[in-house]
Every structure is written in structure tokens, then in C-alpha cells.
């Protein structure tokens, strides 16, 4: 049955030559709707100014129809915004040599690296997480530093990365098999390390797997390129193909590549579904050589959609921001019409966020409450870290007393 669903000839499969408790904050979409309700009450000039802001790509939702939005998945992005400083600051400070601290005057200039709003004080963001960050004074100079408790959590995170390293390398091998030339710049993988669940020192650890990877230097620009050392046919099986064996009906309902037809062609709903099924299947495996497919054909569109689906299945939380997907545009052979292709497949994907910065979710990986069905150990650790971030020192003392039974 899988052969009828996925079309991949032997020649195409050959490798080408060389939820945590987040701080209470209103949803960005709900805030925009609340601001729009004030338009009739404002003077003309202020109304025009507010309209320009609401129509800006920074604010306008990527899904214009309110009925098609999923508030539970939209709330996941709001949670990421609330904890942006936590994850960026701990990653930046952990990369510094012990005692993992930086002068507060220098930290105030690193708003992008530390994830706090531009023009705000970094100390304001740090004091919101007193268990994890503190502001010690060293030689009369205030610093931003990690607390000893946070350092112990980072040690726990390193142990988790060590235990999961074989599975992470397997995911990177599959990602390289998705690319056209089986090679990706190491800088791109480092940029997407949080999405893929890779450790911060992945670029150094990859040298410990010489049988799977090669690191070469591009003579044109001097970039370090990660190449696939060997092709493994056992890994060239997509997540959809595995799911097809378990639940064929669900996979068949996931995608739909409809055929446009005129009204003069009398088709009822059942006949139209049969026609769409005939053009939708067989799908094209994302591990085929996409360069052999003719562009702007249904097979090429199936291939690109399948590549994005497989990439999301390799991510830590089965979702990614658009800039993470665009990072591999050249390697995956994606086109600028990819947004329209993804929007058609609303049974498989959900688009959340704004027009300027939106995310892509795998619908099947989340339940109706927006909770990930299968959680990686690193996801569980991040949720625990977020719970600690929401606690004050008094809350931590109370929890320790409760745990001791006093």
C-alpha cells in the first residue's frame, strides 16, 4: 500500500553525486482585535494612525480569517515571546567562560543576543527571574550573571544533550539527505540549533562522527560545510510513510492537491473528491532527487510540501519559524510560492503569527489544547526551566519546605 501512496523510483532514491505556566499576557491577535474595536471612538487622525499600525505586517495576522485560527497554537508563540529573554540570555551567558557573567553596561547593548526589548533595561528583564539570574557587583561594577541554581540546571541540560546525541546526529543525517547536494553550511545548523535540539557545541561534536559526516571548507567564501559521508537507505523513510503503515486513512486525509475545473464540468462533491484523490496520490517522497522533477508540476509541488513536512518532523517541537525554513531554501529547492502551497494544505499545517514573522506547525503533532503529544526529554527540561522562571525566591522556599514535609 505504501508504494501506491509514495512514488519514488530506485533511481530517484539514489543519493545525488557529491506547556509550561507562562506569564499572563494577552495574545497578540487578541490585542490587535481589542485595538480595532476602539477605532470608532477615536478622532480621525488617531484613527488613521492606528489603522496603519493594524495593517502593518508586524501586526496583521498571517491567517486573516478568524474562524480558521487556532487560539491554542497561537498561545504557543505568545509563550515563546514571554520567555525569549530566558532562553537567549541563558544560552549567551552559558557560552561565556566561568563565572558566566558580563558587565551590565555591556549587556544593555546586546538586546538581540539577550532577547530583551530595545530601549529597555536588561536589569528589568533579569529581575523577573530571580531564581535564574542575579546582578552581582564585582569591583563596584554591576554584572549580569547566572545564579548557582541556574548553573546546576545547565549541567543537567548538558547531560540530556549527551544522552540524546546519537538521535540528534541521526536527525542531522536525515536533514542532509533531504538537501539537493547532501551538504549544509555549519553556520545554518548552528543558527537553527534550538529548533533542531542540537547542543551549542554541535560544530565541535560533529567531528566525533567521521563515518557519518565530513567538514570541508568552501573555497569561494571560506565557510565550513557539513557533508554527508554515506547514504543510508534505512533513513530514507519519511514520517508520512511510517504513519501510513499505522493509520492509512489519516494520511490520505492529510493532503489534498485539488485539480481546478470549470463550472461547465458537472461534478458533485463525491466525484470532485475522487478526482482530487487521483491527482493527490501517489505522493512524492522527500528523499528523492528533486532536481530531476520538472518545475511547476504537481509532482514538484508534492515534493516541496513533503520536504517541509519532513523537516518539521525532525524539529524538537514539530514547528519552526519561517526564517528557520527559509534558511534552507537553497538546499531544499524551495520557491517563493511556497506560502501558497502551504496555505492549501491546512489539514497538515497551521500558520500562526504575523505576516512578517510567522510559524508553521504540524497539526497532527498537537492536541486540541495546543500541547505537544510526544515530548522530547529536552522539551520537558525547557518546561521545567520555564516553571522555575515564573517562581520567586519565596515560592522556591515554600516548595522546598513542602518537599521536606515540614
Question: What is the predicted pLDDT for the residue at 384?
Answer: 95
User: Nine-digit cell at 177?
Assistant: 539527505
SS (H, E, C) 271-331: HHHHHHHHHHCCEECCCCCHHHCCCCCHHHHHHHHHHHHHHHHHCCCCEEEHHHHHCCHHH
CA distances from 270 to 266, 267, 275, 352 (A): 12, 8, 9, 31
Of 152-156, 356-360, 397-401, the range with the lowest mean pLDDT is 397-401
Give the per-residue pLDDT at 343.
86
End-to-end CA distance of the chain, in Å?
61
Q: What is the DSSP letter of 373?
A: S
**pLDDT for the residue 10:** 38
What would the mean pLDDT of 171-182 be, rounded to a whole number? Answer: 94
CA atoms of 168 and 192, how far apart (whole Å): 13
Residue 401 pLDDT class (50, 70, 90 cuts):
very low
Task: Sketch the domain layout of the chain as residue ranges.
Answer: 61-146, 155-379
Give the model's pLDDT for residue 67.
Answer: 85
Residue 126 predicted with pLDDT over 90 = yes
pLDDT tens digits, residue range 254-265? Answer: 777 665 555 555
If pLDDT is split at 50, 70 and 90, which confidence band does 397 have? low
Band of pLDDT at residue 276, cut at 50, 70 and 90: low
What's the pLDDT score for residue 267? 58
How sure is the predictor about 406, in pLDDT bands with cuts at 50, 70 and 90? very low
- Kindly indicate the confidence band of residue 26, based on its pLDDT and cuts at 50, 70 and 90: very low
Record the cell numbers describing residue 343, joined without a space: 496555505
pLDDT at residue 39 above 90?
A: no
pLDDT tens for 107-120 read 999 999 999 988 88
* DSSP characters over 254-287: H--------TTS---HHHHHHHHHHHH-SEE-TT
- Chain-centroid distance of CA 378 in Å reads 14
Are residues 275 and 256 in contact, defined by beta-carbon separation less than 8 angstroms? no
Helices 148-178 and 84-95 pack at an angle, to 10 degrees, of: 90
Question: pLDDT, tens digit, for every residue of 357-383?
Answer: 899 999 999 999 999 999 999 999 999
**If pLDDT is split at 50, 70 and 90, which confidence band does 396 have?**
low
pLDDT tier for residue 52 given thresholds of 50, 70 and 90: low
What is the structure's pLDDT at 324?
Answer: 93
What was the pLDDT predicted at 209? Answer: 93
Written as nine digits, the cell of 28 is 497578540
Percentage of the chain beyond pLDDT 70 is 75
Whether the CB-CB separation of 246 and 235 falls below 8 Å is answered with no
Q: Indicate the average pLDDT of the chain.
A: 82
88 pLDDT more than 50: yes
Is residue 2 within 8 A of residue 279, CB to CB? The reply is no
Out of 14-23, 259-268, 331-340, give the one with best mean pLDDT.
Answer: 331-340
| Beta strands 319-321; 224-228: pairing state | unpaired
Mean pLDDT, residues 141-161: 95
pTM for this structure?
0.82
Reply yes or no on whether the pLDDT at 227 is more than 70: yes
Nearest to 150 by CA among 381, 399, 402, 316: 381
CATH fold group of domain 61-146: Arc Repressor Mutant, subunit A (1.10.10)
User: Averaged over 193-216, what is the pLDDT?
Assistant: 93
Higher pLDDT, 393 or 172: 172
Q: What is the DSSP letter of 42?
A: S
Q: Is it the case that residue 27 has pLDDT exceeding 60?
A: no
pLDDT for res 341: 85
> Looking at the DSSP assignment, which residues form a beta bridge with residue 358?
353
Amino acid at each position: 500500500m505504501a508504494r501506491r501512496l509514495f512514488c519514488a523510483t530506485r533511481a530517484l532514491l539514489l543519493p545525488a553525486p557529491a506547556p509550561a505556566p507562562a506569564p499572563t499576557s494577552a495574545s497578540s491577535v487578541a490585542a490587535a482585535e481589542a485595538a480595532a474595536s476602539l477605532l470608532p471612538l477615536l478622532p480621525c487622525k488617531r484613527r488613521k494612525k492606528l489603522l496603519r499600525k493594524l495593517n502593518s505586517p508586524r501586526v496583521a495576522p498571517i491567517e486573516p480569517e478568524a474562524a480558521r485560527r487556532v487560539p491554542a497554537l497561537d498561545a504557543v508563540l505568545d509563550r515563546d515571546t514571554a520567555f525569549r529573554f530566558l532562553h537567549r540570555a541563558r544560552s549567551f551567558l552559558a557560552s561565556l567562560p566561568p563565572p558566566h557573567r558580563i558587565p551590565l553596561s555591556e549587556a544593555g547593548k546586546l538586546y538581540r543576543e539577550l532577547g530583551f526589548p530595545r530601549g529597555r533595561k536588561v536589569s528589568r528583564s533579569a529581575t523577573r527571574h530571580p531564581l535564574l539570574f542575579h546582578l552581582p557587583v564585582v569591583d563596584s561594577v554591576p554584572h549580569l550573571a547566572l545564579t548557582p541554581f541556574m548553573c546546576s540546571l545547565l549541567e543537567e541540560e548538558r547531560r540530556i544533550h549527551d544522552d540524546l546525541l546519537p538521535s540528534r546526529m541521526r536527525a542531522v543525517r536525515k536533514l542532509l539527505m533531504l538537501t539537493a547536494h547532501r551538504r549544509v553550511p555549519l553556520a545554518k545548523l548552528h543558527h537553527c540549533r534550538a529548533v533542531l535540539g542540537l547542543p551549542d557545541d554541535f560544530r565541535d561534536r560533529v567531528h566525533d562522527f567521521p563515518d557519518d559526516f565530513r567538514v570541508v571548507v568552501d573555497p569561494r567564501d571560506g565557510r565550513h560545510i557539513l557533508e554527508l559521508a554515506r547514504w543510508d537507505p534505512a533513513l530514507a523513510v519519511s514520517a508520512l510513510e511510517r504513519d501510513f503503515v499505522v493509520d492509512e486513512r489519516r494520511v490520505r486525509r492529510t493532503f489534498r492537491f485539488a485539480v481546478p475545473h470549470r463550472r461547465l464540468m458537472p461534478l458533485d462533491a463525491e466525484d470532485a473528491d475522487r478526482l482530487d484523490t487521483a491527482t493527490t496520490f501517489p505522493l512524492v517522497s522527500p528523499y528523492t532527487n528533486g532536481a530531476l522533477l520538472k518545475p511547476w508540476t504537481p509532482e514538484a509541488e508534492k515534493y516541496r510540501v513533503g520536504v517541509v513536512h519532513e523537516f518539521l518532523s525532525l524539529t524538537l517541537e514539530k514547528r519552526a519559524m519561517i526564517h528557520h525554513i527559509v534558511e534552507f531554501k537553497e538546499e531544499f529547492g524551495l520557491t517563493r510560492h511556497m506560502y501558497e502551497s502551504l496555505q492549501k494544505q491546512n489539514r497538515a499545517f497551521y500558520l500562526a503569527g504575523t505576516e512578517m514573522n510567522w510559524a508553521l506547525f504540524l497539526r497532527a503533532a498537537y492536541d486540541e489544547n495546543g500541547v505537544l503529544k510526544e515530548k522530547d526529554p529536552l522539551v520537558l527540561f525547557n518546561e521545567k526551566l520555564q516553571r522555575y522562571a515564573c517562581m520567586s525566591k519565596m515560592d522556591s522556599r515554600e516548595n522546598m519546605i513542602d518537599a521536606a514535609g515540614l
